[in-house]
Each structure stands twice: as C-alpha cells, then as structure tokens.
Amino acid sequence: YATFNGNAYESTRINIQQGTTQTHVLQFPFSDYTPWDGTGTNPNDGMACHGMPTLTDYDGNTYLTVQIGSQCWMRENLATSHYSNGEVIPLGTTESSVTYPYRYCPGNDSNNVSYHGYYYNWTAIMHGAQSSNATPSGVQGICPTGWHLPSNAEWTTLYEKMGGASVAGKKLKIDGLWKNYSGETNNDTFGFSVVPSGNVDYLLEFHDGGISAGLWSSTKYSNSSAWYQLFYYNSDEARQRSFSMYYGLSVRCLKD
C-alpha cells in the first residue's frame, strides 16, 4: 500500500512462487489528474483513470484502472462469476461449447483466479450481444455496468498508441513473469500489465501458462471463431488472430 494526498492505495497484486526470486514494479492508482484537451500526448498516460481509479464487479472483486490515450482500461484480467444483472456464469469442468457460456479456472486451479482471472468462452463474454467492431463496441457483455468489451478496432487503437502492433507486445506485457529465452525485459510502458495466463482449449486442456496470453475482443471472425489478441513470450508483437469460440481466454474491459 501507499498513501497519496491522504488516501491509501493498493498496488498491483503480487503472486510469488516459493523458492524463486522475482523483480516487481509496484503500480499504484494515483489520480493526480492533469486536464487534457485530447490532442497530442495525454499527460495522464499510465495513471489511474480520472475519477475511476478502481472498479468493482458484481462479485465484489476490485480492479485497478489505467489511462492510455483516450481509453480507460482495466489493468487486470476479469475474474467475475456473474454478469452485472446477477446471472451466474457456469463454471466449466467437463465440457466446452459455442452455444452455452462457460468460465474456467486457469490451470484448473481456483487459486489462480485471484491473479489471472477466469478464462471465458466467447459466448460467455458476449452475453447474447451481436458481434461489433465499432469504436466504442457498444457491447457490455460480461463487463461491469459502465464498461464494455473492446472491439478489435479498439485494441488496434491501443496498439497505435504503443507505436504499432509490431512493438506493442513488449510495451504492454508485465515484466518479470514471462519465460523469455532471449533474456530481454518487457517495458510495460504504461502499466497495462498483460500477464502470461495461457488458455484452455475445447478439450479442456490448458496451454501456454507462463508463455502466452490471449485476450478476447467483441468482434466475430467467422460463425465459429472470433478475433483475439495474442501476446507471446518470444515476440515483441501484439498479434491479432482468430480463435475458436470454444476456447477459454482472458478478458479486459474498457470504460464507456
């Protein structure tokens, strides 16, 4: 915790495996806001969103926020088990589906949810909404009230702020957790802090924990697949790819 202008703030949460040495940068949602006219560089980039340093979902989970350009993002992966109307999102343990919504525990271990959030299939994140590639997407879906699922176009806007998708991965991934064989570090330029949570496939087999992250968009690619954002341990790129709607991936939300 840290105190700023008389207010106490929690940093990003740290998950350390016993017996290892890790380096962490503590990020606090300070909100010493500088007025911005929308042109040039936002002086508040990397800070907590003005008037919204945190948000809380239906379950009572609290998430840090981060301002990047004109976008206010969740700084952490979604970990809700309910939609904002109180409807339960079923926990998938034996099957996957493109028809029914499911959430999954990363690594099939509920202890991982507090740090990595849940995986969700695309049906779960959309909550009956139609595909959208608009800016803003207009799809609340699984997100808390006042927030929405980012479209593929909105992810592109984020990458443009980073200098393009070819370098956005390096600038958006949290440092210290990725298994980077080259020994290079990630910048996490503004504290977006993508963590290597991996994914779960249609056979409920878990993949790539520690080496990749997949984050859904609200944009359909085909009748059975949708656009997602792939971050990989040995690449500086943020890759926009399609994945089967069966798969369980992580979610970040954008403020309306």
Closest by Cα among 195, 147, 138 to 169 = 195
Kind plus residue range of the DSSP H or E element containing 194: none
The whole-chain average pLDDT of the chain stands at 90
At residue 29 the predicted structure's pLDDT band, cuts being 50, 70 and 90, is low
Judge whether 146 and 165 are in contact, CB under 8 Å: no
Pairing of strands 62-68, 2-4: unpaired
Q: How far is CA 4 from CA 8, 45, 53, 191, in A?
A: 6, 18, 13, 18
* Cis, bond preceding 101 (omega within 30 deg of 0): no
In angstroms, rounded to a whole number, what is the distance separating the alpha carbons of residues 160 and 163? Answer: 5
Helices marked H in the chain = 113-116, 122-126, 152-161, 165-172
pLDDT at 88 over 80: yes
The count of residues in the chain is 256
What local confidence, expressed as pLDDT, does residue 218 receive?
98
DSSP 106-160: GGG-GGGHHHH--EE-HHHHHTTPPP--SSS----TTSPTTEEPPPHHHHHHHHH
**Per-residue pLDDT tens for 158-216?**
999 999 999 999 999 998 788 765 556 778 999 999 999 999 998 899 999 889 999 99
Percent of the chain with pLDDT over 90: 68
In angstroms, rounded to a whole number, what is the distance separating the alpha carbons of residues 38 and 36? Answer: 6
Q: Evaluate if pTM is beyond 0.85.
A: yes
**Per-residue pLDDT tens for 42-77?**
989 998 998 898 999 999 999 999 999 999 999 999
